[in-house]
Structure 1
Amino acid sequence: MLICSACAVEREEPVPDLCPICTDERQYVPEDGQQWLALEDLATAGQQTVLVDNEPGLMGIRTQPKVGIGQTAQLVMTPAGSLLWDPPGYLDADMVGAVLERGPVLAVAASHPHMYGVQVEWSRQLGGIPVLVADADKEWLGRRDGSVNFWSGTATIADGLTLHQTGGHFPGSAVVHWAAGAEGRGVLLTGDSVFPNPDRRSVSFMRSYPNHLPLSGAVSLRIAAQLDELTFDRIYGNFNNVIPSAAKTVVRNSAARHAAWTSGDFDHLT
């Protein structure tokens, strides 16, 4: 198994010359190229994983220095066990131990293929737990394993912890609804299915974030309507970017704004 230096998604050998995920229009191959790396090489170079306290029951996990896209994974802890969401493209024994110290892990899942990381490797190190992959995105899976389980629509991990397929960024793009988060007001973990913006007062709906390719207004409204059925007050994105409160209103208003801009309602401002 090797990982792509640009996106850090694992792939079985023999690997292609270029990473299929990075050559897709939603991502890119860096100007200085893309290489295939072994986890052992990263460990030798001093790669580390770091825990981040987000709120009670929610820990972030990031690589230092960043590997690939550099997402912050989320470990959601419930009385029944944990979910590892958007797993990084690197792991080490210390972090595996730190995760297991916080209770059994029920599953690994990613919001979309850019966030697959080394999901199968995490599964194996955590005891062969299920890797949940959206059926609509299975063509992007670079490493097959008996732990991989395909799902669509919704998937319940534990009481109050559910995956919801939103589509948009990828057909299988998903979010996690954690009912107990934000002191019981509810949390969404969205990856970049819905992206919390730097102003912390709006979110984005994009087919490609690095290449600035928007989704249609109709899709943004569809996603917002689907999420409006859930109870949540806070959002965490895939870089630990946060909408700290009133997140449901933020999603609703952001989708309406996105739809208005893409339909030409604000062309007079340009």
Structure 2
Amino acid sequence: MASDGATYDSNETGSWLVCTACGTQFPTSDREKTKTCFICDDPRQFTPQTGQAFTTLNEIRSRAKNTWTPFKGDSRFISIVTEPKVGIGQRAILIKTPKGNVLWDCITLLDEETIAKIRGLGGLKAIVISHPHYYTTHVEWAKAFDCPVYLAKEDKEWTTQSSAHQVFVEDTELDIKIDGEPSGVKALKLGGHFPGSFVALYDEHLLIADTLVSTPSGLGSWDTDAVGVARTRPKGMNSYSFMWSIPNMIPLRPSELERMWGILKKYDFSSTHGAFLGADIVKTVPEMKQRVLESMQIQIRYMGYDEHAFLNETVG
């Protein structure tokens, strides 16, 4: 499908259909023309037990609003989440750099209040989206802020609209530039969940979306016991899982984890920030990299590959 409009027009697009399950916008108001969501029909996603349904941006705007939560201890990052939940319920993350603002991932709800809030913070210079489940209304956002939106070329087939604002990235590693100069934000194409799944890195903060899935044992705290005595984290616990399908619980194969690690191990990061509020792990560079590697090795071992060579890999 294609979208011909070059500028943002909320009146034109407010009645276009939005999948209630994943939040993806389709460029039509005709419910006879679009009856299913091909993103939710993919085995990585699902259609709810209640069946396929569509809403519109106008309907969402009438009942929901976006909330703003700065990262604890670092106000350069602001999580944007829609309440009540729309679609999958992920967050977008506004990254404030000296060169300008970059938006990591996208959410469906774009309204005048959100546009005014972001413009008050300096607008947007670029948008980077991790994978197709979060494509949502990215063309709307790109038009509203007249900025490029970076998507993986491998995942182009999952777009429902075409736009001159879309930039399909072929490279594995991309420095996001603003007015021709590096912003400091780097997009790393790790693949896995989707062939082009990205993570983003800025000043040792690794924004992971669903490319790495933060687990309860990764988010849990073992710093002290019930009476306040210091303790260490028990051995053998993972911090992340690596999934082809998160909701349908289909893991990635060992060779894919090995390939992903080959890209990620070159970079230092002291925290990870997942797709949802509260999915933040903040430690040190050595511990974070060790946690990622150990999580990959735990997954490989418990999939039955006890002799896999990757089990001997070290952070090094």
TM over 0.5: yes
Consecutive unaligned residues in structure 2, runs of 5 or more: 1-15, 177-181, 220-237, 308-316
SS at match of 2:80: strand
2:297 match? 256
**Is the radius of gyration larger for structure 1 or structure 2?**
2
The letter for the 2-side match of 1:243 is: I
1:110 match? 129
2:256 match? 219
The letter for the 2-side match of 1:260 is: R
SS at match of 2:107: coil
Q: What is the CA–CA distance in structure 2 between the aligned matches of 1:248 and 1:86, rounded to whole Å?
A: 23
1:20 match? 38
1:156 match? 175
Per-residue CA distance 1:74-100 (angstroms, 9 max, x = gap): 011100011111111111111121122
Q: Structure 1 residue 98 and structure 2 residue 85: aligned? A: no
Q: CA deviation at 1:56?
A: 2.5
SS at match of 1:251: helix
Instruction: Give the ranges of 4+ consecutive aligned residues of structure 1 lying more than 6 Å apart after TM superposition.
Output: none
Per-residue CA distance 1:165-190 (angstroms, 9 max, x = gap): 011000000000112xxxxxx01101
Which TM-score applies when normalising by structure 1?
Answer: 0.91
Verify the 8 A CA contact 1:220 1:258 in the aligned structure 2.
no
Q: What is the CA–CA distance in structure 2 between the aligned matches of 1:247 and 1:104, rounded to whole Å?
A: 32
Which TM-score applies when normalising by structure 2?
Answer: 0.78
Verify the 8 A CA contact 2:271 2:282 in the aligned structure 1.
yes
Consecutive unaligned residues in structure 1, runs of 5 or more: 180-185
Aligned residues: 258
Q: What is the CA–CA distance in structure 1 between the aligned matches of 2:200 and 2:295, rounded to whole Å?
A: 19
Verify the 8 A CA contact 1:154 1:163 in the aligned structure 2.
yes
Q: What is the CA–CA distance in structure 1 between the aligned matches of 2:36 and 2:214, rounded to whole Å?
A: 30
1:36 match? 54
The letter for the 1-side match of 2:139 is: V
2:101 match? 82
Verify the 8 A CA contact 1:217 1:263 in the aligned structure 2.
no
Q: What is the CA–CA distance in structure 2 between the aligned matches of 1:111 and 1:217, rounded to whole Å?
A: 22
Verify the 8 A CA contact 1:86 1:117 in the aligned structure 2.
no
1:183 match? none
Matched ranges for 1:1-270 at <5 A: 1-13=16-28, 16-44=34-62, 46-54=63-71, 55-126=74-145, 128-152=146-170, 153-157=172-176, 158-179=182-203, 186-199=204-217, 200=219, 202-240=239-277, 241-245=279-283, 246-265=287-306
CA-based RMSD of the aligned residues comes to 1.5
Q: What is the CA–CA distance in structure 2 between the aligned matches of 1:143 and 1:36, rounded to whole Å?
A: 17
Verify the 8 A CA contact 1:218 1:259 in the aligned structure 2.
no
SS at match of 2:96: strand
